[in-house]
Structure 1
Amino acid sequence: MPASRLHRSLAALTLGAAVLLQAGCFAAPPNGPDGSSERVSVAMLLPPRSGLSPFSDDAFKLSRWRTAETLVQLDEAGDAQPMLATEWSRVDPLTWRFTVRDGVRFHDGTELTAAHVADALGRAVAASPAPRILDGVDLTARADGDDAVLVSTAVADPLVPQRLSSPQLSILAPGAYRPDGQVDPAGHGTGPFRLTAVAGTSGATLDRNDDYWGEPARAAGIDVSFVPDGTARSAALRTGTADVVEAIPPGQVPLLDPELVHEVPMPRTNTLYLNTARGPFADPAVRAAAREAVDRAALIAGAYEGRADSAAGLLGPALPWAAELRGAPDYTRALADRPAPGRVDGVPITLGTFTDRAELPEVAVLLEQQLEAAGFVVTQDVREYAFIEADALDGAFDAFILSRATVLDSGDPVAYMASDFGCAGGFNISQVCTPQIEQALERAAATDTGPERRAATMQAEATVLATDAVIPLLHERVIQGESARVDGVARDPRERDLITTGTTVGATP
């Protein structure tokens, strides 16, 4: 069988029709006695947008393929764990020291050194645009001898280890960085799989790295195809021409074997932002009336076919500690004094959202019905995101529906809250600004990582919710497909992990 299934694509599929395989479609799965000599075929949603540059969102593909690695990785709770760095400590309020793992070689054979780490981080800092994880962060890195790196920030930042877990700060070999500023990750990572070929926006090929510093991969390699069409991705799972499939549309799930479908909670909340600066929702009692009008179960059933989680707060089940902390006395007290709903009778409001996420226009229709049943008169404005974002940020709408990532690249939700609800927040659609929220956000941001920071984060959530400036609606899920012949695939809410060293592929039972 050919080693790669890259140059294959699925034709559009009608219900009940056979899959039409065009030239260059997924190859038939190999049959072997174990996973050690088998390759994993993966159908991914989005093709690379920036040539797989680690400084872009393409970095998350490199992470999901386990070809590029960072100094630090995050555990399920979002706490920093060793990766290319074995340990770290805070030297002073502005400086951290990371010990670089010994015995690591890049895929081109170069031995990893502290100088290489400092150079890679420096290139990320100098990139234009800079990686998102470095927004507002003045970071420098320098080697401290042969085995350590000193990372400094202009102001004290307890999140430095978490920041260094971002795939956008992957450490690549010197040969990856070209004089023209472009970055080529092929053959220049440190992970258990070596990127050997990239076929533009069609696919990629990775082979097992037999010189990996950690546990070697069990699969012989990964064959990636980029398949933007959701029906085609679902067909690939149904016919067994892909082992792992990203982002199956909810409408395709009934056509699939339930044993092959796995729902993963996402750190993404579908939220209704209310304009607190002007218009009807400047009145807290009117905001409370909108809050009471929302029927989350109907939104989930109607727009998501039941494949979402009702939102009790800003942070959802992708952060399991959030629900546990909502019962804290301080959290409960913060919500106890919310105003009672006021009388609403014919109050006109504008409701905005965008078309780029397919479910949002349907959510808007259902939400309009719920709000009008409560006495509001709703006028919708639905456009492509590129043409509506500026108006939303300027406060042009009374209410705006947004699907919002609540955990950014550091794995910490405080930055999202500061952006959306801080007085100087760059994404403050609700136009909210209160001393109570500012104090709660500042306290959370200054607290060291761990249980105390999580408690402060939840108190900030409660302080925001107490204003009714925002109404969390639901938490989204991603639907991942895995064939019966694959095992050991990661189901990661942060979408950093997918194929692991333990992923195996065998003959279909």
Structure 2
Amino acid sequence: MTRARTALAVAGAVLLAGGCTVANSGSAAGADTLQIVLPEEPPTLEPCDASLTATGRVVRSNITEPLAEREPETGKLEPKLATGWRQTSPTTWRFTLREGVTFHDGTAFDAKDAAFSVSRTLDSGIECNVDGYVFGDSEVTAKAADGSTLEVTTGKPDPILPLRLSFVEMVPTGTDTGSRVREPVGTGPYRIDTWNQGINLRLARYAGYWGKAPDYAAALYTWRAEGSVRAAMISSGEADIAVGLAPADGAGDHAVEYPNNETSYLRMDAGKPPLDDLRVRRAVNYAIDRKGLVASVFAGLGKPAGQLVPDGVTGYDPDIRAWPHSMKRARALIGEARADGVPVDTKITIIGRNGIYPKAAEAMEAVQHGLREAGLNVEVKMLDVNAWTEYLLRPFPEDAGPTLLQAQHGNQAGDAAFTMEQIYGSKGAQSSYGTPGLDRRIARAERAAGRDRQERFAEALAHQGEEVVRDAVLAHMKGIIALAPRVSYQPNPASGDEMRLAAVHPAD
């Protein structure tokens, strides 16, 4: 597997007397440039990895576009580069493509590009995150029926294929199929202008865009790991939008809270001792004080959770509650496992990710404290996004011992299919463990439609939480975004993973 291993370099902040000035922040960018500060630099702008937060919030609907787009506020699938679609057989869908669309290099977008984009995402060998996250092991074939008609065939009936394809960003046929591209060519309202690695990324408005032109002529992204620095950049006028903030970062009246659709959790290496023992995995869950974690570390920006999908997603089961905090039960389970010869003293490493959410390291230290108190040998290793991704996606590092991976999952698509197979399936791209019984339940749910789909996914989630216990789900999260007075933007549940620049306007 070839992975982009671009070094993540973060330019330092320079604090000057009388205010906060951040080196190379682009503060002189001009009134027609929207300035956004992010917690981390994207490791790549590869469109087929746009389901990853760091990449998606820059790429999706800004540089590249899909055939259809789910509106976060309504959950409805709306036309984008396709004007409509219909199912012509149980396994075949036809998409009518929008005419008059061009890529940033001036070439026309047509059905050959659409078919190529689907094939590149699913069959090129790049091992795109979208492939595992959205499609799993689905068999999908795309071909151009004519210049403006795309025909997509699946190996088995798929009632939500148009929704799945909304995660496939369109690229021209000349795009590299052997490796990830750093600076893609798309059809979006913005094109890549300059990328100064470790400093900033500038997007320029694309004059040939098929839709309504966005208000800002350019967008300038910078990255600062410290939330307090990002908040200070808003206060000092050096940035217009800052994301991934915590209450303690000091954004003040500039801060806006919103439900961000993210669920924080710990993925367990359930195939490695001592985590291969169900009692130990249950003990991990009992040992974590979720209410305390939300109240203190998350400063109330969340709600203790027991399942990986939030309310509003097909499959969400309101009867699944967060695990209660019981150190007595945790210690008893560890004691039982120890008595049966389970090597509970084996070192378990929490693999954390800097910047995944505010106070990420503090959250893992709190978890570590609880697990040690329960009788487990736990260490914390915090990594930047590139190194952390090696543990997120298959194939995982072979020399790692048993790990708990700090992760966060946002189901923007609104269907548990985009959670279950990739995260819990035996062969899922982000799955460290699965069972035949859970695989069967996931497969049955994916074939279902309507109310039956809801019930089957709820059953699969309940089975995972009660019998498999592959995770320690922590909380359904809220986010904080800071806005400068000169801009107007209404955050939505998808804002943590994608930020549509066209939705940002100058304030009245």
TM over 0.5: yes
1:204 maps to a residue whose letter is L
Asked if 1:271 is matched to 2:247, the reply is: no
- Return the offset for 1:413: 3.2
Q: Distance in 2 between matches of 1:311 and 1:223?
A: 36
Q: Distance in 2 between matches of 1:492 and 1:463?
A: 27
Q: Secondary structure at the match of 1:218?
A: coil
Deviation per residue, 1:271-292 (Å, 9 max, x gap): 36484886598465x7666645
Aligned to 1:344: 332
Asked if 1:240 is matched to 2:237, the reply is: yes
Aligned to 1:413: 416
Q: Could you tell me which of 192, 195, 204 is aligned with 1:198?
A: 195
Q: Distance in 2 between matches of 1:451 and 1:216?
A: 40
Aligned to 1:69: 65
Aligned to 1:382: 380
Q: Structure 2 unaligned segments of length 5 or more: list them.
A: 1-9, 339-343
Q: CA RMSD in A?
A: 4.1
Q: Compared with structure 1, are the counterparts of its residues 59 and 94 closer, same or farther at alpha carbon in structure 2 (3 Å cutoff)?
A: farther
Deviation per residue, 1:32-70 (Å, 9 max, x gap): xxxxxx3311123333433x3323447525535623111
Q: Distance in 1 between matches of 2:25 and 2:89?
A: 56
Aligned to 1:326: 318
Q: Compared with structure 1, are the counterparts of its residues 112 and 341 closer, same or farther at alpha carbon in structure 2 (3 Å cutoff)?
A: same
Deviation per residue, 1:238-297 (Å, 9 max, x gap): 21111112323x2752x222333434424332236484886598465x766664554211
Conserved in 2, the CA contact under 8 Å of 1:100 and 1:148? yes
Q: Distance in 2 between matches of 1:182 and 1:417?
A: 26
Q: Secondary structure at the match of 2:96?
A: strand
Deviation per residue, 1:80-117 (Å, 9 max, x gap): 33111111122334332111012323344433322232
1:418 maps to a residue whose letter is E
Equivalent residues, number: 466
Conserved in 1, the CA contact under 8 Å of 2:254 and 2:482? no
Q: Distance in 2 between matches of 1:294 and 1:225?
A: 35
Higher deviation after alignment, 307-316 or 263-272: 263-272
- TM-score of the superposed pair, with normalisation by structure 2: 0.76
Q: Compared with structure 1, are the counterparts of its residues 118 and 29 closer, same or farther at alpha carbon in structure 2 (3 Å cutoff)?
A: closer
Q: Secondary structure at the match of 2:47?
A: coil
Conserved in 2, the CA contact under 8 Å of 1:485 and 1:505? yes
Q: Could you tell me which of 36, 44, 57 is aligned with 1:42?
A: 36
Q: Secondary structure at the match of 1:236?
A: helix
Aligned to 2:441: 440
Q: Compared with structure 1, are the counterparts of its residues 372 and 115 closer, same or farther at alpha carbon in structure 2 (3 Å cutoff)?
A: closer
Q: Secondary structure at the match of 2:375?
A: strand
- Return the offset for 1:423: 4.8
Q: Distance in 2 between matches of 1:196 and 1:305?
A: 38
Aligned to 1:3: none
Conserved in 1, the CA contact under 8 Å of 2:269 and 2:275? no
Conserved in 2, the CA contact under 8 Å of 1:271 and 1:474? no
Conserved in 2, the CA contact under 8 Å of 1:353 and 1:361? no
Matches within 5 A, 1:102-501: 102-125=99-122, 127-135=124-132, 136-166=137-167, 169-174=168-173, 177=175, 183=181, 188-248=185-245, 250=246, 252-253=248-249, 255-271=250-266, 273=268, 275=270, 282=277, 291-316=285-310, 319=312, 325-327=317-319, 344=332, 347=335, 349=344, 351-357=348-354, 359=359, 362-367=362-367, 369-370=369-370, 376-383=374-381, 389=391, 397=402, 400=404, 402-405=406-409, 407=411, 412-423=415-426, 429=432, 431=433, 433=435, 435=437, 437-448=438-449, 452-467=452-467, 469=469, 470-493=471-494, 495-501=496-502
Q: Compared with structure 1, are the counterparts of its residues 40 and 142 closer, same or farther at alpha carbon in structure 2 (3 Å cutoff)?
A: same
Conserved in 1, the CA contact under 8 Å of 2:256 and 2:482? yes
- Return the offset for 1:406: 5.4
Q: Secondary structure at the match of 2:20?
A: coil
- Return the offset for 1:213: 2.9
Q: Distance in 1 between matches of 2:122 and 2:436?
A: 33
Q: Distance in 2 between matches of 1:49 and 1:229?
A: 18
Q: Compared with structure 1, are the counterparts of its residues 90 and 201 closer, same or farther at alpha carbon in structure 2 (3 Å cutoff)?
A: farther
Higher deviation after alignment, 61-70 or 232-241: 61-70
Q: Distance in 2 between matches of 1:357 and 1:472?
A: 19
Q: Compared with structure 1, are the counterparts of its residues 85 and 294 closer, same or farther at alpha carbon in structure 2 (3 Å cutoff)?
A: same
2:41 maps to a residue whose letter is P
Aligned to 1:54: 47
Aligned-residue sequence identity (percent) comes to 20
Q: Compared with structure 1, are the counterparts of its residues 13 and 341 closer, same or farther at alpha carbon in structure 2 (3 Å cutoff)?
A: same
1:486 maps to a residue whose letter is V
Conserved in 1, the CA contact under 8 Å of 2:255 and 2:483? yes
Conserved in 1, the CA contact under 8 Å of 2:313 and 2:411? no
- Return the offset for 1:426: 6.2
- TM-score of the superposed pair, with normalisation by structure 1: 0.75
Conserved in 2, the CA contact under 8 Å of 1:368 and 1:378? no
Deviation per residue, 1:139-197 (Å, 9 max, x gap): 3321112221112234444443222212xx322345x63699775756x4322334334
Q: Which has the larger radius of gyration?
A: 1
- Return the offset for 1:457: 1.9
Q: Secondary structure at the match of 2:221?
A: strand
Q: Distance in 2 between matches of 1:467 and 1:17?
A: 58
- Return the offset for 1:447: 1.9
Conserved in 2, the CA contact under 8 Å of 1:271 and 1:473? yes
Q: Distance in 2 between matches of 1:241 and 1:393?
A: 44
Q: Distance in 2 between matches of 1:64 and 1:282?
A: 41
Q: Distance in 2 between matches of 1:179 and 1:391?
A: 23
1:344 maps to a residue whose letter is A
Q: Distance in 1 between matches of 2:396 and 2:221?
A: 39
Conserved in 1, the CA contact under 8 Å of 2:48 and 2:130? no
Q: Distance in 1 between matches of 2:182 and 2:277?
A: 51
Q: Distance in 2 between matches of 1:270 and 1:134?
A: 22
Q: Compared with structure 1, are the counterparts of its residues 194 and 395 closer, same or farther at alpha carbon in structure 2 (3 Å cutoff)?
A: closer
Q: Compared with structure 1, are the counterparts of its residues 199 and 65 closer, same or farther at alpha carbon in structure 2 (3 Å cutoff)?
A: farther
- Return the offset for 1:223: 2.4
1:165 maps to a residue whose letter is S
